[in-house]
Structure 1
Amino acid sequence: MNKRITEHDKAVTEGFAKTDITLQMIHDSEADVEVAKINCEKAREKLAQLKLKLREKEKEGMAEEDLPGIKVNIKELDDVLLRDVGNKIKESGKWPLLIDPSSQAATFLRYRDTNYLNALNPAQMEPEKVRLAVLGSVRYGKSLVLDMMEVDMFDTVSDRFDEVHKGLMNMIMDKSLLKDEAYTCLLRKGDPQEYDKNKFIENRVQNFKFVIITKNPLPPAELLEKTYAIRIHINTM
């Protein structure tokens, strides 16, 4: 592609009369690139679907004593969690719970465009910090990540969220926060202009995600019931 453009520029500079020929060559190259991109995306989607079928087969064959959650490796997390290939998370109607004793999922998400809260960090659990993290995630349609580390403290975190707005955690979990502009309960006088009510675009708001991470391999049954559990599998071979 770059070669064709260079050849065309050179032809123009040297006064080549039929620059339409080199220009057409550029257009042809551009078309080839677009076709290659489309084929690449189709191949990627096909591979993702095959991986999805493999995970479902593995889940069907799980023994009762196996740990909870659909098993995925860290390389599959983009397909399973962020792209939600097969719409499994969406169809569950629940937010994902990542069960990951290795902490790889937390690292993975911290380096994505997310608002990350460490439940064990008092500074990050301050009401104003929580409010802005939730509000920003809704405003920009991105993931709010709550990392509980190895401690079962969902109820404690819920209490901290309640200090921002009564029932906030419940509103997040049942997704009512995203309906009928309920998120405006988080707006405060003096907020930056970016949080003006008119700046919230519905399509973007609906891209909001809430992701909970725990290092505990056996989370409380109540939390498992409320979430779509995904267990990070670490290959030891």
Structure 2
Amino acid sequence: MSDEVRKKLLRKKKIEQGMELAFEDNLSGFTKLIEDVRDGVDVPIDPVLNATGSRMDSFLGEAACGNAVEVVKYCLQKGADINWVGQHNRTPLQRALHNSAEDVIPVLLENGADMRLLFPQERDEEGNVVFRAWDPEDLNGLDCESHIAELLKKWDFSKTLTILEQRAGNKAAADVAKSAENEHVAAEFKSSSETLKQEYEKAVAIYKAAVQLREERIKDYDRAKCEGRLHVLDVAEGLIKESEAKVEETKTKVSVLEQKYKASEAKMRQHQVAMQGGIKYDTEITIGQLEDVIFADVGAQIINAKKVVPLVIDPSGNGLTFLTYRNCLLIDIANSHHMHPKQLRLNILGCLRFGKPLLINLRDKPLDVALATLKEKCEGSLVNLFQWLVLDKTIKEPSKYEQLISEEVEAENNELNRRRFTPTFTERFVVALISQQPYPEEKDMGNFYSVFVSA
């Protein structure tokens, strides 16, 4: 079990414990557990408070159900969503009503609990609630004890509307401020990244110059030796050693700056993703589901999405390790042997001939760069190969794959003789891309069925 999975399971267990503490109104135990769930990470507390348990109910809902006034007040003070809709469409107020938790009901009402959500409401096309006009008479049919119903009837609903309007206004103002802050942070990230890029490019230029100088000094040494100028060989040899030391020094600097630059780019992209509310994938799966989804298309998810090639986003690399030991052929865009035109042809033809899945590892390169590299290598073998293989998968058609079969290929490998290719096997051929890029651009995933693998 990976550390990441272990952390997720532990967090889930703590959340369930928190539900019990909230119900019991154990404020000291609850607040301590909330900090444990945050795990010292500098994250806002409100998303943690709005975490849900196995029944999709929030801490606030559980506290309301248990008439736990202190925990309810704490949750509201820290920004918990008072109108969170949990299991069976129940809000914290509704759960309090069902358990006759009369001590917390006034607290909830005074903080904007919306009584309209006690009743079925219509929703628009985007799933947003469209409230109908409030009618106090609706409370007459409410399934709760009579004294609880009277408590609700006495509440001035206009106060609720005022609270909700104020909250919406505060949220809008906070969103504007947050947006401005995000833009400022993004500008700082961009500036830092550009500075590191310039330093990296400068270091690369110095490294190349050092390599060139070393080569020139080696030539000078060889020339002096050929001409019999033995008296200068010691000096020339010393200059070569000096150049070699300089090459190693600049090479190390290039490596360090490259890592810093990549890390800066990753942070900038991470910030962009956070500002956009996350990356939208076609599906998210576990490692164990990989084969069924990308090779067998169980449930016809890829076909139904009207896409032909899956793109697996596997930041942890665990999915790649898992698939490496499955019955597929892995080719790596960073492997010059794999990407050699002849070898690429042989690999593709072999997979087509025997109906074997082909997995292309794009490494952790930015998707646009990785795909451009793959396209270049494919087209170095056959002009339309990238289109046929990766975009529309028409490579399975005889008129397409036979263009990969040369006389040389047939002569060297009898199994790849064009007469040996049959629809029985070629129709089984599957190609999938896999990337360890943690923050891919959505525009680069558009042509593919994007599959995120959770660690």
Residue in 2 that maps onto 1:18: none
The alignment's TM-score, normalised by the length of structure 2, stands at: 0.36
Q: Take 1:222 and 1:143, find their aligned partners in 2: how far apart are those partners? A: 26
How far the C-alpha of 1:233 sits from its partner, in A, is 0.8
Q: Take 1:178 and 1:79, find their aligned partners in 2: how far apart are those partners? A: 21
Q: Take 2:415 and 2:337, find their aligned partners in 1: how far apart are those partners? A: 23
Q: Take 2:347 and 2:377, find their aligned partners in 1: how far apart are those partners? A: 13
Letter in 2 for 1:101: P
Structure number with greater Rg is 2
CA distance 1:206–1:223, shift in 2 (3 Å): farther
Q: Take 1:182 and 1:128, find their aligned partners in 2: how far apart are those partners? A: 16
Residue in 2 that maps onto 1:166: 383
CA distance 1:68–1:217, shift in 2 (3 Å): farther
How far the C-alpha of 1:193 sits from its partner, in A, is 1.0
Residue in 2 that maps onto 1:114: 328
Q: Take 2:422 and 2:365, find their aligned partners in 1: how far apart are those partners? A: 36
Residue in 1 that maps onto 2:284: 71
Q: Is it true that 1:175 corresponds to 2:403 in the alignment?
A: no
Number of positions where the alignment pairs a residue of Structure 1 with one of Structure 2? 174
Q: Take 2:297 and 2:403, find their aligned partners in 1: how far apart are those partners? A: 29
Identity %: 26
Residue in 1 that maps onto 2:405: 187
2:317 corresponds, among 95, 103, 107, to 103
SS of match in other structure, 2:428: coil
Q: Take 1:181 and 1:141, find their aligned partners in 2: how far apart are those partners? A: 17
Q: Deviations over 1:184-226 (max 9, x none)?
A: 0000113211111110011210111111011112323343111
Q: Take 1:118 and 1:190, find their aligned partners in 2: how far apart are those partners? A: 24
Q: Take 2:346 and 2:339, find their aligned partners in 1: how far apart are those partners? A: 11
Once superposed, what is the RMSD of the aligned Cα atoms?
2.1
Q: Which has the higher helix share?
A: 2
How far the C-alpha of 1:156 sits from its partner, in A, is 1.3
SS of match in other structure, 1:65: coil
How far the C-alpha of 1:148 sits from its partner, in A, is 0.9
Q: Which runs of 5+ in 2 are unaligned?
A: 1-126, 128-273
Residue in 1 that maps onto 2:358: 144
Q: Take 2:377 and 2:291, find their aligned partners in 1: how far apart are those partners? A: 30
Q: Take 2:294 and 2:343, find their aligned partners in 1: how far apart are those partners? A: 25
* Further displaced range: 225-234 or 69-78: 69-78
Residue in 2 that maps onto 1:126: 340
1:154 corresponds, among 346, 366, 371, to 371
Q: Given that residues 68 and 218 in structure 1 are in contact (C-alpha distance below 8 angstroms), is that contact kept between their aligned partners in structure 2?
A: no
Q: Take 2:422 and 2:394, find their aligned partners in 1: how far apart are those partners? A: 16
Letter in 2 for 1:118: D
Residue in 2 that maps onto 1:226: 447
Q: Take 1:222 and 1:195, find their aligned partners in 2: how far apart are those partners? A: 37
Q: Take 2:397 and 2:337, find their aligned partners in 1: how far apart are those partners? A: 29
How far the C-alpha of 1:232 sits from its partner, in A, is 0.4
Residue in 1 that maps onto 2:349: 135
Q: Take 1:189 and 1:83, find their aligned partners in 2: how far apart are those partners? A: 33
Q: Which runs of 5+ in 1 are unaligned?
A: 1-60
Q: Take 1:223 and 1:142, find their aligned partners in 2: how far apart are those partners? A: 26
Q: Take 1:171 and 1:82, find their aligned partners in 2: how far apart are those partners? A: 18
Residue in 1 that maps onto 2:113: none
Letter in 2 for 1:171: W
Q: Take 2:338 and 2:291, find their aligned partners in 1: how far apart are those partners? A: 26
Q: Given that residues 100 and 214 in structure 1 are in contact (C-alpha distance below 8 angstroms), is that contact kept between their aligned partners in structure 2?
A: yes
Q: Deviations over 1:96-128 (max 9, x none)?
A: 000001111211221112121111122221111
Letter in 2 for 1:87: A
Could you say which structure has the greater relative contact order, defined with CA pairs below 8 angstroms and 6 or more residues apart? 1
The alignment's TM-score, normalised by the length of structure 1, stands at: 0.68
Q: Take 2:297 and 2:414, find their aligned partners in 1: how far apart are those partners? A: 32
Letter in 2 for 1:181: S
Where does structure 1 differ by over 4 angstroms across 4 or more consecutive aligned residues? none
2:422 corresponds, among 201, 210, 219, to 201
How far the C-alpha of 1:150 sits from its partner, in A, is 0.4
* Further displaced range: 93-102 or 67-76: 67-76
Q: Take 1:120 and 1:85, find their aligned partners in 2: how far apart are those partners? A: 31
SS of match in other structure, 2:348: helix
